[in-house]
Structure 1
């Protein structure tokens, strides 16, 4: 993406829809509509539209809700996958159900995908695919000549279940003095209730 330009670059990361049997709620399906409205509201607040570039992955939950809202606003969207598509769908999309797989297909048919392995080569032993994918998105976001770089995230504010989660990308963007706009899933859970 080097050499591209945009009014603003909006990098996205966020929680997946909770898998069945998850021990503690983070993004249960019952707040999906609230999250979708919050993402749309954030994109509208920053005036996202044609002339802007959005970067995200495509997991069920925040990623696909952001991707759909960005496309609805005419944002040029780049979708990054940490490994091959079949494995990604199995691990990060189908866990939410067939509806998410259908949304994934609609989004990626409109945008195509950037595979981390194609850009960076095979994953080195001991490296985390999700961390590498997030850092690739951040690097590409930084390479765009833009007036503004923002990270929009759907996040409970806590460390993730493993490396490469929202927490890590938020910290990387903050270290680069980027703007972080957070949709707090804990707050939405309080609004929605059990």
Structure 2
């Protein structure tokens, strides 16, 4: 039985992207796949960042299923929102998901900020912190952690 899920994945493509990796047109399909996985009932906690795309979709589905989430960001909430949420369409939808997820995590004490070099782009340090936090939440038992990687195979 898996208890903690570490999540990482792609952000939605910017408008006019030269290479399509995660077009906005696939958001509902990806949400459905995430829902299918999280509905299996074996996850009690999610650990991830909160960028628009895979992260926010996972956080939104987890909230719908009453699965708590720990959010780890490389900067302040506002700085991260500007650099990794509001820069992609549809801005309003991503912004609302982000605000809900961050607010809920903060209320539970599950919001970790300024990981790494305190820049909005220290994603390597955030990925390390996500894995470390997931292992810690699983009581140091790696067999109680599962990783969900949401990407296009490229």
TM range (shorter): 0.7 to 0.9
Name the CA distance, whole Å, in 2 between partners of 1:150 and 1:9.
6
Higher RCO by CA contacts (8 Å cutoff, separation 6 or greater): 2
Question: How many residues are treated as equivalent by the alignment?
Answer: 144
Tell me the equivalent position of 1:106: 100
Unaligned runs of 5+ in 1: 1-5, 159-194
Moved over 4 A (4+): none
Which of 35, 44, 50 aligns to 2:39? It is 44
RMSD: 2.1
Unaligned runs of 5+ in 2: none
Q: Deviations over 1:99-151 (max 9, x none)?
A: 1111100111111221144xx6xx189xx610001101111111222552111
Provide closer, same or farther for how the CA distance between residues 42 and 116 of structure 1 changes in structure 2, counting only shifts above 3 A. Answer: same
Judging by fraction of residues, say which structure has more strand: 1
Larger Rg over CA atoms = 1
- Contact 1:15-1:155 at 8 Å conserved across structures: yes
Tell me the equivalent position of 1:177: none
Name the CA distance, whole Å, in 2 between partners of 1:124 and 1:37.
34
TM-score relative to the length of structure 1:
0.68
TM-score relative to the length of structure 2:
0.84
